[in-house]
Structure 1
Amino acid sequence: MAARVDVKLAELGISLPRPMQPIANYVPYVVTGNLVVVSGQVPAIDGKIAVTGKVSWSVSVDQGKEAARLCFINVLVHLKAACGGDLDRVRRVVRLGGFIASPSEFTQQALVMNGASDLAVAVFGEAGRHARTTIGVPSLPADAAVEVEGMFEIE
């Protein structure tokens, strides 16, 4: 029988991609006790960053929101690995952190980050509701438009 979260991902039309390798000196996730911390993930498809630039300049808010959603999909790839392949071990999405590359006058970072937050709730239901920080930054590695990190409670 398919795992509950895998079924939900399939219903949402999501298949988890191969993980992107870290581009610097860090690991993709750390498990300590019953917590998993997933390093910041960019909106990559097949190992290439799919959405680059600054939100509100070359990237629309809607494109940024889709980029944040894609970042969360990439977070899920590493979370699944941390859970030994079983996302049903996730008890709670504790916190998401979002970094939105944008000019200083842009103030809609929260709308962009909803792409990740909405997907967390769609995948995990009530356990997907989380604390969150969203920060506008002048640039991100490799010119990514968005980066999302996460902390999860597992069994």
Structure 2
Amino acid sequence: MTPEIQARLSDLGLELPAAPAPAANYVSFVQTGDLLHVSGQVAADASGFIIGKLGDSMDVDAGVAAAQRCALSLLAQVNAACDGDLSRLKRVVKLGGFVNCTSDFTDQPKVINGASDFFAAVLGDAAPHARSAVGVSSLPFGVAVEIDGIFQID
């Protein structure tokens, strides 16, 4: 990890965790050329999965926090793919955000901003990215948010 990224994480009160292991029959990431495709990372913290449904048992602020945790796991996967050398990370290309929500919930973009804002704070100029924010009726383990990503690396 670079000292700049470490300092920015510390400023946010965060520490880069170990990259989570896959939960089923897939790999955590695949590199093709200079693009790294990272599998969906579900919302989790030190206490375990962040479970909830936006518009029912969870409010937008809690969803934003869950999306930030997904982004932290995405960065951990990129770090693992780069053998601990995050100076190889050139850009966040695209995020795909999935929000476990009620059928009348329409603030999916606000929730996924938790990840976009995290990358802006931690990566600066490498952070602007394309993105989708989609509402779904359920996610694995009942988590509130899942986000996958595409990153450009050296």
| TM-score, normalised via structure 2 length | 0.94
1:46 is displaced (CA, Å) by 4.1
User: Do the aligned partners of 2:34 and 2:153 also contact (CA within 8 Å) in 1?
Assistant: yes
Could you tell me how far apart the structure 1 residues matched to 2:32 and 2:39 are?
Answer: 14
Distance 1:116 1:128, change over 3 A: same
Distance 1:19 1:48, change over 3 A: farther
> Hey, what does 2:127 align to over in structure 1?
128
Could you tell me how far apart the structure 2 residues matched to 1:134 and 1:63 are?
Answer: 16
Could you tell me how far apart the structure 1 residues matched to 2:88 and 2:6 are?
Answer: 12
Superposed CA deviations along residues 45-97 of structure 1, whole A, max 9, x for unmatched, are 24821x21211100111000000000100111111001110111111100011
User: Do the aligned partners of 1:3 and 1:88 also contact (CA within 8 Å) in 2?
Assistant: no
Structure 1, unmatched stretches of 5+, are: none
Matches within 5 A, 1:83-94: 83-94=82-93
1:6 is displaced (CA, Å) by 2.3
1:70 aligns with 2:78: no
1:41 aligns with 2:23: no
Could you tell me how far apart the structure 1 residues matched to 2:47 and 2:61 are?
Answer: 22
Q: Which runs of 4+ in 1 moved over 3 A?
A: none
1:148 is displaced (CA, Å) by 0.8
Could you tell me how far apart the structure 1 residues matched to 2:12 and 2:64 are?
Answer: 16
> Hey, what does 1:98 align to over in structure 2?
97
1:23 is displaced (CA, Å) by 1.3
> Hey, what does 2:79 align to over in structure 1?
80
Report the 3-state secondary structure (helix = DSSP H, G, I; strand = E; otherwise coil) of the residue aligned with 2:71. Answer: helix
1:14 is displaced (CA, Å) by 1.6
Could you tell me how far apart the structure 2 residues matched to 1:60 and 1:107 are?
Answer: 12
Alpha-carbon RMSD across the aligned residues, in angstroms, is 1.3
* Amino acid aligned to 1:42: V
Superposed CA deviations along residues 10-57 of structure 1, whole A, max 9, x for unmatched, are 2322211223221111111111111111110011124821x2121110
* Amino acid aligned to 1:106: F
> Hey, what does 1:9 align to over in structure 2?
9
Could you tell me how far apart the structure 2 residues matched to 1:47 and 1:93 are?
Answer: 28
Identical amino acids, percent of aligned pairs: 47
Most deviating of 28-37 and 107-116? 28-37
Could you tell me how far apart the structure 2 residues matched to 1:22 and 1:47 are?
Answer: 18
* Amino acid aligned to 2:38: V
Superposed CA deviations along residues 107-155 of structure 1, whole A, max 9, x for unmatched, are 0000000000000111111210100011000000000100011110011
User: Do the aligned partners of 1:20 and 1:46 also contact (CA within 8 Å) in 2?
Assistant: no
Report the 3-state secondary structure (helix = DSSP H, G, I; strand = E; otherwise coil) of the residue aligned with 2:27. Answer: coil
